[in-house]
Amino acid sequence: MRERIGAGFTLRFPGWTEWLRRLAPPVERALDYRQWPISAISEDPSRAARRRALEEGPYGRCVFRCDNDVVDHQTVVMQFESGATATLILNGHAHEEARTMRYDGTGATLRGKSTYGLDDVIEIHDHVTGAVKRIHCGTSHARVTGHGGGDEGLMRAFVRAVRGAHEGAPQPRQALESHLMAFAADEARLNGRVVTLLPR
């Protein structure tokens, strides 16, 4: 969070930035933040290039006053052949950037929360005893990059598949089905109807 604040401050107050830059190395590092989202707007990491990218490129536009039609909230309800159901809820405007999950089974409920390495925890609630087991996942660089480490995992699996090491990599059918589900969810959203995917 501090890095994002530093990036915004740099672009808005260049004069103060130069003065603060001389105070201490930690301030220098915060003001010279170059990771996402800074890395997405320009290949040139200089402050001048960042400012130019925001003034002239698509990242400087107001998302609510442009042709961007990406959803900012969505609820997808899925029913599987087995009778199991799943609900995916996406909300782009929340007080906290996080991912949560909940799996309800016959013996227990598993709940998880990932705030990208800040306070990742998994809880297992036993239906019979009422006991709750908490597993704190701690922090790691892998979890705080690219969709909580998901981007890196997908690329590792792809490279393994290309090299012929298919063990642990998604099988082509599984990958296809997951993509078809995503396309079906978007079709349902755009057309306001239930979409049925035929069984294998």
Look at the pTM and tell me if it is higher than 0.85: no
Which letter does DSSP use for residue 68 in this model? -
To 10 degrees, what angle do helices 14-21 and 2-12 make? 120
Residue by residue, pLDDT tens for the chain (200 residues) are: 444 444 555 556 666 666 666 666 666 566 667 777 777 888 888 888 888 988 998 888 887 788 878 888 899 999 998 999 999 999 988 888 788 999 999 999 999 998 866 778 999 999 999 999 999 886 554 445 666 677 787 788 778 877 776 565 556 777 788 889 999 999 999 999 999 997 66
What is the C-alpha separation between 139 and 131, in angstroms, rounded?
A: 25
Cβ 103 vs Cβ 110: under 8 Å:
yes
